[in-house]
A and B are shown apart, each in its own frame.
Chain A
Amino acid sequence: MIEAHDSLIVRSAGKLLIPLSQLFALYVLFFGQYGPGGGFAGGVILGTSFLLAVLVLGPQAPPCRLAHQLEHGDGIGLMIFVGVGGLCLIGGGTFLDYSNLQIPGWNDEERRSLGIVLTQIGVAADIAVTALSIVFSLGQHHSQEASHE
C-alpha cells in the first residue's frame, strides 16, 4: 500500500528534505573519524532518506526505482568490508590489518586511516541497503493484503 502522497505540501517539503538528508548522511559518514557519527548512523540516515523518497514520491518515481534496485544489492557493503580485509590478507598481514594495504608512499597510520574510511563506507552501504530491504519486506505484504481485499 506504499503509494505517492497526494498533499502538495508534503511533496514539496519532501523534495527539499530528501537531498538534504542524503547530504547529511554523507556528512555523518565521513565526519565519523573526527566527531560523533560514522558508518552506522550514516547508513541508517541514508536508508531512511530513500525510504522518505518512496513514501513521499511513490514507488514509481525515479529515485524510488533506484531504491528498489539498490535493494537487490544485499551484500555489496559486506563485500567492500571483506574485500578490504582480504586485501590486507594478500598484503601479508592478518585479516583486516589495514597497515598491510599495499599503497606505495603511505605510512602505516595513513593506511590505517584509509582502511577505516573504506570499511565505514562498507558498513554504511550494508546498513542502508538492509534497512530498505527490511522495510520493503514488511511493507510488501502490506500491498499484497490490499490487493486481496
Chain B
Amino acid sequence: MMDWFEIALVILLITTAVGVIRVKTLISAVLILACYSFLMAVVWAQLGAVDVAFVEAVVGAGLSTVLFLLTLFRARAKDTQLRRTPTPLVALLGLPLLGFVLLYAIAPLYPDGQDGQPLRPASTHVADAYLQESYKATKTPNVVTAVLMDYRAFDTLIETGVIFTAGIACALLLRSHSE
C-alpha cells in the first residue's frame, strides 16, 4: 500500500535539502531552508501530526528564518558568499559508515505486514493508555495537549525554561556594550 502523495513530498523534501547544500550564497540557503521547513510541516500533517505541523510551520519556517536573516542582514555582502572547500577524507569515509549504522538501526521499524503498524510497542504500551484515559482525566479533546500540559507537564516546564535560558543567553552575548 503505497502513498504516492507522501513519496512525492519526501522527494521534494530531499531536493530542497540538497538545494540547501549546493547553493552558493547564504541568504538563498536560508530561504530554501524555510521551504524545507514548510515542506516538513506538510509531511508531518500528512503523517497525522497536526499540532507538530502547526508549530513547525510557525517556528521552523517562521521564527528560525527570521533569526537567520537578522544575523545575515548585518553581514557584508562578500561575507555571505560561500567558497568551495575541499571535502575532507574523514567525511567521505565517515558518511557511508554512519549511513550503514542508520539503515541497520531503522530496519525493525518498517511495517511488518501483519497489522501494518510499525513496531507494535511504540504505539501500544503507554500511548493507548493516554488515548483511552486522557479525556476522562482532563476534559481535553486534544490528546496531544492533554499529554503535553498535564501528563508530561514537567517536561514542558523545563522546555519553557530552555527558551528562557536562550533569551537570557542572547542578552548576555549581544547586549554587553550597549545600554
Closest Cβ of chain A to B142, distance in Å, is 6
Q: Give the contacting residue for A135; candidates B70, B149, B156; CB below 8 A.
A: B70
B51 and A116 within 8 A (CB): no
Among A8-16, A59-67, A76-84, the stretch that binds chain B is: A76-84
Count of B interface residues, CB-CB < 8 Å: 45
Which A residues, 97 to 149, have Cβ-Cβ distances below 8 Å to chain B? 98, 108-110, 112-113, 115-116, 119-120, 122-123, 126-127, 129-131, 133-135, 137-142, 144-145
In the complex, are the beta carbons of A40 and B164 less than 8 A apart? no
Contact residues in B for A129 (Cβ distance below 8 Å): 167
> In the docked arrangement, what's the CA distance between A32 and B62, Å?
19
Given A36-B50, A38-B148, A81-B160, verify A142-B70 contact (CB < 8 Å): yes
Of A51, A78, A110, A116, the residue contacting B145 (CB under 8 A) is: A116
Asked if A33 meets B74 with Cβ closer than 8 Å, knowing A112-B150, A137-B170, the reply is no
Q: Is B46 on the interface with A (CB-CB < 8 A)? A: no
Contact B175 A137 (CB under 8 A): yes
B70 in complex: contacting residue of A35, A38, A81, A139, CB < 8 Å = A139
Residues of B within 8 A of A130 (CB): 163-164, 166-167
B168:A74 contact, CB within 8 angstroms: yes
Chain B nearest CB: distance from A93 CB in Å?
Answer: 12
Q: For chain B residues 49-88, which have a beta carbon within 8 Å of chain A?
A: 50-51, 53-55, 58-59, 62-63, 66-67, 70-71, 73-74
- The answer to whether A4 has its CB under 8 Å from any CB of chain B is no
The 8 closest A-B pairs by CB, nearest first: A130-B167, A36-B50, A137-B170, A138-B70, A116-B149, A112-B138, A113-B139, A137-B174
Known pairs A44-B62, A47-B63, A123-B156 / 15 extra A-B pairs, C-beta < 8 Å: A33-B141, A33-B146, A36-B53, A37-B51, A38-B51, A39-B156, A48-B66, A77-B164, A123-B160, A133-B171, A135-B67, A137-B171, A138-B170, A140-B175, A145-B74
Chain A residues at the B interface, C-beta cutoff of 8 Å: 28, 32-41, 44-45, 47-48, 51, 74-75, 77-78, 81-82, 85, 95-96, 98, 108-110, 112-113, 115-116, 119-120, 122-123, 126-127, 129-131, 133-135, 137-142, 144-145
Interface, chain B (partner A; CB < 8 A): 50-51, 53-55, 58-59, 62-63, 66-67, 70-71, 73-74, 136-142, 145-146, 148-150, 153-154, 156-157, 160-161, 163-164, 166-168, 170-171, 173-175, 177-178
